[in-house]
A and B are shown apart, each in its own frame.
Chain A
Amino acid sequence: MNQTPALHIEDLTVAFDSRPALWDVDLAVPEGVLMAIVGPNGAGKTTLIQAALDLIPRAAGTVRIFGEPVARARGLTGYVPQRGSVDWDFPTTVQDVVMMGLYGRLGWLRRPGADERQRTLQALEQIGIADLATRQISQLSGGQQQRTFLARALVQDARLYFMDEPFAAVDAITERAIVTLLQELRARGRTVVVVHHDLQSVPDYFDQVTLLNVEVIASGPTAEVYSEDNLRRTFGGRVAGIARLTEEAPP
Chain B
Amino acid sequence: MSHAGSRNWRTVAALLALSLLAIPLGLALGNIRVDYTLVTVAAGGAVLGIVCGVLGSFAVLRQQSLLGDALSHAALPGVALAFLLAGRELGWLLAGAGIASWLGVLLINTLVRRTRLKQDAAMGIVLAAFFALGITLLTYIQSRNDASQAGLDQFIFGQAASIRRQDVLLISVVGLAAFVVLIALWKEFKLITFDPSFAQANGFPLRLLDVLLSTLIVVAIVLGLQLAGVVLMVGLLIAPAVAARQWTQQLDQMLVLAGIFGGLAGAGGSILSGMQQGLPTGPLIIVVAVAIVALSIALAPERGLLWRHWRQRRDRQRFTAQQVLQDIHRHALQHGDPQYPAPGGMLVTLRGPLARPALRHLQREGLLNASAGDDWKLSERGLERSQAAARNQFLWDRYRQFGEDLGLPSLAVDPQQPIDRLLPADAIARLEALD
Chain A interfacial positions (CB closer than 8 Å to B): 50, 53-55, 71, 74, 77, 79, 81, 85-87, 90-93, 96-97, 100, 103-104, 106, 108-109, 111-112, 133-134, 136, 138, 152, 156, 171-173, 175-176
Contacts and interface: CB of A to CB of B under 8 A. Distances in A.
A92 B195 CA distance: 12
Nearest to A104: B202
A109 B251 CA distance: 18
Nearest to B200: A55
Contacts, number: 98
Nearest to A92: B251
A71 B203 contact: yes
Contact of A91 (B197, B202, B203, B254): B254
B115 to A, nearest CB: 14
Q: Chain B contact residues (Cβ within 8 angstroms of A): what range?
A: 35 or more
A74 B254 CA distance: 32
Contact of B195 (A86, A93, A109, A171): A86
10 contacts: A55-B200, A74-B203, A77-B201, A92-B250, A96-B250, A100-B190, A100-B194, A134-B5, A171-B422, A175-B409
B187 A112 contact: yes
A91 B201 contact: no
Contacts of A176: 424
Contact of A100 (B63, B186, B198, B408): B198
Interface string B242-254: 0001001111011
Q: Which of A74, A91, A108, A109 has the most CB of B within 10 A?
A: A91
B187 to A, nearest CB: 5
Contacts of A90: 61, 193-194, 251
Contacts of A54: 200
Interface in B62-101: 63
Nearest to B409: A172
A133 B249 CA distance: 13
A246 to B, nearest CB: 17
A166 to B, nearest CB: 14
Interface in B408-430: 408-412, 421-424, 427
A180 B204 CA distance: 31
Interface in B364-419: 408-412
A103 B191 contact: yes
Closest 8 CB pairs of A and B: A172-B409, A104-B202, A74-B203, A136-B249, A79-B201, A134-B2, A134-B4, A53-B201
A81 B198 contact: yes
A146 to B, nearest CB: 14
Nearest to A87: B194
Given A100-B194, A104-B203, A171 B409 contact: yes
B184 interface: yes
A50 B198 contact: no
A160 to B, nearest CB: 12
A124 to B, nearest CB: 13
Q: Which of B194, B201, B245, B423 has the most CB of A within 10 A?
A: B201
B370 to A, nearest CB: 38
Contacts of A173: 421-422, 424
A55 B197 contact: yes
